[in-house]
């Protein structure tokens, strides 16, 4: 919503200045359109900070608390969570959420593969507990597969060497996943993932590219200040800026989806639309400023 709000606010502000001939008076006083645009940059910068903070700092914490509160206050008997499958490094893990803090997993099954991708070992445990910075499997049953046999063993407790952390568990087992830059980076480092690495690589880039959309929208709205609203020029520029902003959002989403599907590199997927549309909007502004 941040880029759209800046586009709408920019169209209203610049259009109102043009209608009242304020832009003409400022240009006569030696204030260029670039300086007027620079005066609007602090507001756009504040919106960029709000955009980044809401997506990367506030939402990951408040969404988890809301989900825990909702589950605790929901009337009736809470349903047994369904098992979820995810990757932790080279291991495939199937487990159920044991608590809202992400420090317990129930009905854990771990599948390990060799260098060629063939199943080499399966570990099944009643539950796993995270304590003192490490996971421990309770009552595990190990089955190691060889070329000719399957060797079975059991133990009362087993240390699980994994980079999975409670924060990763909360994210992976959440019904509403919205990966932040931190969770995407953890997934790429082997912390835990459900999707291809390309998805998390794009999400990591998007965390920093998405706020740039605010500046793109401001650049798209700026030419409206130079329009003549006594003729159709002002209306044409307003409609063109609005269409350009919506096209930017569509193109940005399309390129992001292509990057998540590994059809584009993460850098191109995340940054192509902001760079291209900023260049186009800047070109229009420079030509109109003359």
pLDDT in tens, 185-216: 888 888 888 888 899 899 999 999 999 999 99
Contacts of 154 (CB under 8 A, 6+ apart): 139, 140, 141, 142
Q: What is the pLDDT of residue 50?
A: 92
Q: What is the pLDDT of residue 60?
A: 79
Contacts of 188 (CB under 8 A, 6+ apart): 197, 200, 201, 204
Give the residue with greater pLDDT, 255 vs 33: 255
pLDDT band at 175 (very low <50, low <70, confident <90, very high): low
Q: What is the pLDDT of residue 213?
A: 93
Q: What is the pLDDT of residue 143?
A: 93
Q: What is the pLDDT of residue 31?
A: 83
**Nearest CA to 128 among 179, 77, 94?**
94
pLDDT band at 252 (very low <50, low <70, confident <90, very high): very high
Instruction: Provide mean pLDDT across the span 103-111.
Output: 92
Q: What is the pLDDT of residue 228?
A: 83
Instruction: Provide mean pLDDT across the span 163-190.
Output: 80
Give the total residue count for the chain.
Answer: 290
Residue 77: pLDDT over 60 = no
pLDDT band at 76 (very low <50, low <70, confident <90, very high): low
pTM of the model: 0.77
C-alpha span between 153 and 158 (Å, rounded): 12
For the chain, what is the mean pLDDT?
87
């Amino acid at each position: 919503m941040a880029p759209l709000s800046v586009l709408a606010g920019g169209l209203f502000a610049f259009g109102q200045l043009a209608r009242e001939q304020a832009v003409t008076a400022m240009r006569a006083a030696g204030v260029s359109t670039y300086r007027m645009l620079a005066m609007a940059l602090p507001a756009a910068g504040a919106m960029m900070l709000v955009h980044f903070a809401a997506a990367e700092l506030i939402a990951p914490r408040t969404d988890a608390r809301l989900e825990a509160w909702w589950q605790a206050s929901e009337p009736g008997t809470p349903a047994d969570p369904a098992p979820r499958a995810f990757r932790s490094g080279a291991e495939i893990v199937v487990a159920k959420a044991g608590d809202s803090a992400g420090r317990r997993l129930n009905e854990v099954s771990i599948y390990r593969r060799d260098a060629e991708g063939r199943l080499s070992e399966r570990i099944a445990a009643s539950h796993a507990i995270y304590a003192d910075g490490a996971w421990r499997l309770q009552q595990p049953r190990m089955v190691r597969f060889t070329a000719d046999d399957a060797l079975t063993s059991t133990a009362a407790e087993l240390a699980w060497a994994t980079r999975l952390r409670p924060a990763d568990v909360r994210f992976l087992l959440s019904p509403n996943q919205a990966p932040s830059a931190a969770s995407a980076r953890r997934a790429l480092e082997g912390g835990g993932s459900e999707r291809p690495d390309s998805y998390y690589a794009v999400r990591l880039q998007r965390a920093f590219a998405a706020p740039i959309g605010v500046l793109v929208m401001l650049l798209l709205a700026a030419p409206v200040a130079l329009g003549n609203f006594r003729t159709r020029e002002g209306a044409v520029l307003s409609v063109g800026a609005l269409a350009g902003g919506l096209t930017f959002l569509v193109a940005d989403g399309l390129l992001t989806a292509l990057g998540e599907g590994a059809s584009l590199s993460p850098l191109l997927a995340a940054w192509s639309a902001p760079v291209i549309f900023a260049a186009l909007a800047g070109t229009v502004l420079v030509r109109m400023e003359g």
